[in-house]
Structure 1
Amino acid sequence: MTFIGRADDLAFLQDCYEDPKAQLVVLYGRRRIGKTETLSHFTQGKPCLFFSAQMATKEEQLAEFSRRMFEEGAPAAAYLDRYADWRTALVELTKLPPPADGGRRLVVIDEFPYLVKSDPSLPSVLQNLWDHTLRHANLMIVLCGSAMSFIEKEILSEKAPLYGRATGVLKMLPMPYWDAVRFFPDYSPEEKAIAYAVLGGVPQYLATFDPDRPLDWNIKRHILRRGAALYSEPEFLMREEFRETAKYNTVIRAIALGDTKINDIATHTLIPATALGFYLSGLMETGIVEREFPVTAAVGEQAKGTRGLYRLRDDFFAFWYSFVYPNRSELESGDVDGVYEEVVRPNLHAFAAHAFERISADWLMLQSRSKALPYRLNRCGRWWDRTDEMDVVALDRTSRKTVVGECKFRSAPMDVPVLDRLHMRAMKLDADERMYVLFSLNGFTARLERMADADDTVRLVDIDELMTAQG
């Protein structure tokens, strides 16, 4: 399959590669996010030692690393069967034959946390070698890992041996929607939006669907069917990241059902509000949950404990906990069609509405970066107070210029009353300039189009324009 997206990540890695100084890059992100594929694409045509660690003992890891080093021409191959320890093995990186083109040697260690778990002294060994030897060599070393909390706490934190040694830290994020929908070139714009709402921007999930098959077929075959790869994916990831998976499950399920405030989550889960912070922090660290504030909220307000609304940030987790988790009994018995027709299909558009809001917000920021708007935007998100809310609000750096938007992922075209309500709500924002953008799945009525044509502060954006955007 053709490699899709990741232009910014690849550009960052290439800049590191071309830097004349030795490089120690930490690249990490959740499983299935495309780290290995991106690194494989980056290393094409470059002299590279690519070592993929496994769940194994220290001795087994060293034996496999030794084999890869000897294949690359490490001189110790003449008198060793394998290296005795990691210090001996890693210092030998400086003795590998120089690339034929005179360039630098690239070393990628994939799933580095597996090596550390089998030998906890490894980060200290690497830190010492980097300080005294490796940082003077013509090397670029990439340490890659999927255990996000482990990487952040054991590799990047202030107390970790390698703290301050990394010359680059790249946390890989889900793909933006304009890259994700390229996995489905023949889907209609509406189907692309729904597929993105279901799978999010995780490349391996997107690649699981067959783009030549209908969307409903893919959902039933690859998510709802017992034994399919995505059927148990969230459970696998939860077990890998957390110990008390049952409690984390109840928290995610509560949020998926619409409990967004901490007291509501506590009531639903029977976990005391004072204890919920621990579980919510873990879920936020792994990118499953996010804490959301009105886009106009000050930094001080966002720093206050457990305030804000909690929402599922991971689209696939949101879909799975909305439709798979509560219907496991029927799905385990094989009633895939029944669950899809009676539960999934009737609620699919309502479910996709949240992702449509985020698509619209991402499109606005893309337009801003492309200088296609009257002013450059600084931040974008939802806005709400006690009585009103707006789907999309974006502000410039001064917060005096704003773009407000309404999103409708519905079958009916958007009409003038929607714009009228948006005008009224926007008056609650203290701004000198306002622009109004309406995002619609099924277009706009003729009278709304005429009104927009006569008012240069109003812009109408349909699903076709959203789905043809290019980052």
Structure 2
Amino acid sequence: YWDNKLKTTDIKIFICGSSIRMMEKHFFNYSSPHYGRRTKQFKLQPLGFSALKDFFPSAGLEELLAIYAVFGGTPAYMLEYENDIFETIRTRMLRKEEFLHKDAEFILREELREPRYYFSIIRSIAFGNTTTGRIMNDTGITKDVVAKYLSTLQDLDIIERHVPVTENIKSRKGIYRIKDNYFRFYFRFIFPYMEYIEMGEEDFVLREIKTNFQRYSGLVFEYVVTDLIKENRNLIQMQFTRIGSWWSAGDEIDIVAINENTGEILFGEVKYTNKLVGVKTLSTLREKAKNVKWGTDNRPEHYLVISKSGFEKDIMDKDVTLIDLNTLEKITKIQNHN
């Protein structure tokens, strides 16, 4: 009917689907009757952190970060929020009749043939096992199988591979990260405690979540800050061609930005704690920066410290860019206004 009647008209047909496997089967598979008939395709990504202000205009930055850390950028998930993050977790995720209770599992079961092994791998990554070796040791799954499943999870946009910003994509230092915060939260705090939830132990699970939530949110804060810098390049004192993080032999730097044209490099530390940050943090950052092998011996270096709770006086007069929560709050308001 399309070929004989509709193709020459102004009619446009939009087909949406949340299952990558289903969409590929019906529109990208050569044996499908729809193959070759699509004119365009779009892969919709989750909303970024900056978009949350449109959904929750009265929320402060910390509240927005908590929402984003639990629900990610999927509007249907975000709209389940009920003014208090822990009460929302209790009523929308810890209760068996709610759709968020197992939606991550349902989505993966729809996409995957052997979900049990994939669940084990995603759970392992959620608990901080981010290299192939550590995932193997944690899950007991062989190297070949882990590699195959990691590749599939990347194809499905569930996880992504990162390398230090100073390395190329083929670096052996690559680590894996769960892309979507809802999946990351689910496999860190819901999936491992499913037995307790089934027994009605909501209070116990919620205590576990509260105990570990600030540490969990700290990593999300690092990613959010990096994205905000990409969107607001005047936040730091140099132009950059690449930005990310860096790690090697036990050392890690939260933010590293480089300019491959000028040879400049910036090192940044992100602190999501309730304590003021002082000069000791800057001194430690400077020491770690010496281990970053990039550029020339006399490369221009810049330093950045971002703190949730502000700064002590001893760091104020140092040669470093300081960014606190108030500055980030203003940026998100400006972006929302634009």
The residue that corresponds to 2:249 in the other structure is 386
The residue that corresponds to 1:310 in the other structure is 176
- Alignment partner of 1:352 out of 210, 217, 227: 217
The residue that corresponds to 2:59 in the other structure is 187
**Is 2:63 the partner of 1:203?**
no
Structure 2 Cα separation of the partners of residues 185 and 318 of structure 1: 25
- Alignment partner of 1:425 out of 288, 308, 318: 288
Q: Which amino acid letter does the alignment assign opposite residue 323 of structure 1?
A: F
Residues 126-137 of structure 1: matches in 2 within 5 Å? none
Q: Which amino acid letter does the alignment assign opposite residue 154 of structure 2?
A: M
- The answer on whether the counterparts of 2:243 and 2:255 sit within 8 Å (CA) in structure 1 is yes
Change (3 A) 1:330 1:92: same
- The answer on whether the counterparts of 2:69 and 2:220 sit within 8 Å (CA) in structure 1 is yes
The residue that corresponds to 2:119 in the other structure is 249
Q: Which amino acid letter does the alignment assign opposite residue 78 of structure 2?
A: L
Structure 2 Cα separation of the partners of residues 417 and 379 of structure 1: 27
Structure 1 Cα separation of the partners of residues 118 and 153 of structure 2: 8
Change (3 A) 1:372 1:350: closer
Which deviates further from its counterpart, 271-280 or 179-188?
179-188
The residue that corresponds to 1:224 in the other structure is 94
Change (3 A) 1:428 1:195: same
The residue that corresponds to 1:402 in the other structure is 265
Residues 5-44 of structure 1: matches in 2 within 5 Å? none
- Alignment partner of 1:361 out of 197, 216, 226: 226
- For the residue of structure 1 that corresponds to 2:100, the secondary structure is coil
The residue that corresponds to 2:317 in the other structure is 450
User: What is the Cα deviation at residue 374 of structure 1?
Assistant: 4.4
Structure 1 Cα separation of the partners of residues 163 and 36 of structure 2: 32
**Is 2:126 the partner of 1:273?**
no
The residue that corresponds to 1:129 in the other structure is none
- For the residue of structure 2 that corresponds to 1:253, the secondary structure is helix
Output the TM-score relative to the length of structure 2: 0.87
Root mean square deviation, CA, Å? 2.7
Output the TM-score relative to the length of structure 1: 0.64
**Is 2:154 the partner of 1:284?**
yes
Residue identity (%): 30
Structure 1 Cα separation of the partners of residues 190 and 145 of structure 2: 27
User: What is the Cα deviation at residue 448 of structure 1?
Assistant: 1.8
The residue that corresponds to 1:29 in the other structure is none
Which deviates further from its counterpart, 309-318 or 148-157?
148-157
Q: Which amino acid letter does the alignment assign opposite residue 93 of structure 1?
A: L
Structure 2 Cα separation of the partners of residues 399 and 238 of structure 1: 45
Structure 1 Cα separation of the partners of residues 303 and 29 of structure 2: 43
Runs (4+) off by over 6 Å: 157-166
User: What is the Cα deviation at residue 398 of structure 1?
Assistant: 3.2
Q: Which amino acid letter does the alignment assign opposite residue 449 of structure 1?
A: M
The residue that corresponds to 2:130 in the other structure is 260
- The answer on whether the counterparts of 2:66 and 2:217 sit within 8 Å (CA) in structure 1 is yes
User: What is the Cα deviation at residue 92 of structure 1?
Assistant: 2.1
The residue that corresponds to 1:31 in the other structure is none
Q: Which has the larger radius of gyration?
A: 1
The residue that corresponds to 2:204 in the other structure is 338
Provide Cα deviations, 1:2-47, integer angstroms capped at 9, x if missing partner.
xxxxxxxxxxxxxxxxxxxxxxxxxxxxxxxxxxxxxxxxxxxxxx
The count of corresponding residues between Structure 1 and Structure 2 is 329
Change (3 A) 1:434 1:169: farther
Residues 77-226 of structure 1: matches in 2 within 5 Å? 88-94=1-7, 96=9, 105=10, 107-110=12-15, 144-149=16-21, 151=23, 155=27, 168-210=40-82, 213-226=83-96
Provide Cα deviations, 1:126-157, integer angstroms capped at 9, x if missing partner.
xxxxxxxxxxxxxxxxxx33332454677458
Provide Cα deviations, 1:86-106, integer angstroms capped at 9, x if missing partner.
xx245422565xxxxxxxx45
- The answer on whether the counterparts of 1:365 and 1:377 sit within 8 Å (CA) in structure 2 is no
- The answer on whether the counterparts of 2:236 and 2:304 sit within 8 Å (CA) in structure 1 is no
- Alignment partner of 1:296 out of 154, 163, 166: 166
- The answer on whether the counterparts of 1:226 and 1:334 sit within 8 Å (CA) in structure 2 is no
Provide Cα deviations, 1:325-362, integer angstroms capped at 9, x if missing partner.
11112212322223212x01011000111111101111
